Amino acid sequence: MQLTTEHFIALLPLLVTCATSVLVMLAIAWRRNHAQTYLLTVTGLVLALLAIIPALKVTPLAVTELLQVDNFACFYIGLILVATLVCVTLAHAYMEGYPGNREELYLLIILAAAGGIVLVSARHLAGLFIGLELLSVPVYGMVAYAFFNKRSLEAGIKYMVLSAAGSAFLLFGMALLYADAGTLSFAGLGAKLSAEGSLSQLVHLGIGMMLIGLAFKLSLVPFHLWTPDVYEGAPAPVAAFLATASKVAVFAVLLRLYQLSPAMAGGWLNDLLSLIAIASILLGNLLALMQSNLKRLLGYSSIAHFGYLLVALIASKGLAVEAIGVYLTTYVLTSLGAFGVVTLMSTPYHGRDCDALYEYRGLFWRRPNLTAVLTLMMLSLAGIPLTAGFIGKFYIVAVGVESHLWWLLGSLIIGSAIGVFYYLRVMVTLFLVAPGLHRHDAPENWGQRTGGIMLMAMAGLTLFLGVYPQPLLELLQHTGLTAL
């Protein structure tokens, strides 16, 4: 295949991200400077975001057999880059008091973001696997970055071993699909399997094994056991990246696969996904009830949220694609805000993060700005009106009603009611006063200020989209996301 100028323009966000990683690596080799590395990383990510504008003018465009750069890919590339930019800013605040080398964390985040960009553009199982590994491998190092803390090291090893097992299932499933269909492209698989009518046992097994691999990455029940431990052990900005950019990329490629290969989207697979969705919603919310650690609570909460998203994936028609876009956007905003508060509270301390719930007792009386942000994020995660989370949940319910998925909607309502309880428990803790209790608090510095500005921006967007979601809905419609 001959690459033209248009192909390079379409690939511009990925090329800029990769070039940034090379520049950051050379800058670290030349001279270690935390502020310089941070500014280089932020500049590269902003340029990659701006590069989406010229890329949109040449889309849709197939770049080799592996990648398809279209409006769908561009939207999710933008979402991943924004999440990465916020995580980098939070990491800068977090790493101010870090005793070891700080600069490599930025390099790992950029490489993982490049993997996410490849993943959401994939239209071929080989592209999917390359993107997934490029996303996952840097995250192993990021999770274990605070290696002097045994929880971080344990979380990194646990995530690496279990992630490798998930990737093995995924690869084996792809091999079985290729053995039957003779192709690895999403559209080719869909056409071949549709033409055959009834699917062979080999295809059923291949689809099942691929589902196991992807469900692990999305921490869906029963492949969720790594989630709370890894979220708790990972440095707070890394947990934020894992909960947002990483999962958005995997869910976006799952949606594309589901839409382009309709033969994979019916019958027993829908029933199995429905069971996984109900189990994820109920188990995620019930286990979150018992948590006294904020990061573990958010980990179990994320399991439930991706259970909600499965409702729209199973519906797979009408408003489904738009609903997923809305929900993922609102989920990314609120999760970044919640993890951002943990990050700014944890900044000046060595050892574990400030994530125990008792450490947030009476936070309102010391840091009202952080309390306001965390309260808003909890309300949004609970789906309370006038927050972005309400709009996302409203769309998921609308899609469920449109497709008559009553059992799933019932579990969604029960799960949301359970969720309100533990989100309110976090909010109440912020306003309690306990005299004589030792509390963590973060001093003001440049990193804290930039992190605080980013948090306020997240909070402002969460409120704005909750009150006036029209710009986001128009963006999703104008980019043609509804017509994947």
Residue 112 pLDDT: 95
CB 243 within 8 A of CB 236: no
Residue 299 pLDDT: 93
- Which token pair is 76? 């999710």
Distance CA 240, CA 88 (A): 10
Distance CA 6, CA 183 (A): 27
Cβ atoms < 10 Å from Cβ of 229: 17
For residue 356, give the 3-state DSSP assignment. Answer: strand
Q: CA geometry: angle at 422 spanning 420 and 428, to 5°?
A: 95
Residue 75 pLDDT: 92
> pLDDT above 70 covers what percent of the chain?
92
Residue 446 pLDDT: 53
Q: CA geometry: angle at 94 spanning 150 and 433, to 5°?
A: 90
- Which token pair is 338? 């919640």
For residue 293, give the 3-state DSSP assignment. Answer: strand
Residue 201 pLDDT: 82
Does residue 368 have a cis peptide bond before it, meaning omega lies within 30 degrees of 0? no
Residue 305 pLDDT: 94
Q: In the chain, which residues have pLDDT < 50?
A: 482-483
CB 228 within 8 A of CB 296: yes
Distance CA 410, CA 278 (A): 9
Distance CA 47, CA 271 (A): 43
Q: What is the DSSP string of 130-160?
A: HHHHHHHHHHHHHHTSSTTSHHHHHHHHHHH
Residue 193 pLDDT: 75
Distance CA 448, CA 347 (A): 8
Tell me the whole-structure pTM to 2 decimals.
0.92
CB 116 within 8 A of CB 78: no
Residue with tokens 């650690």: 293
**What backbone torsions phi and psi does residue 12 show, to the nearest 5 degrees?**
-55, -45
- Virtual torsion, Cα 221, 222, 228, 229, nearest 10 deg: -160
Cβ atoms < 10 Å from Cβ of 111: 22
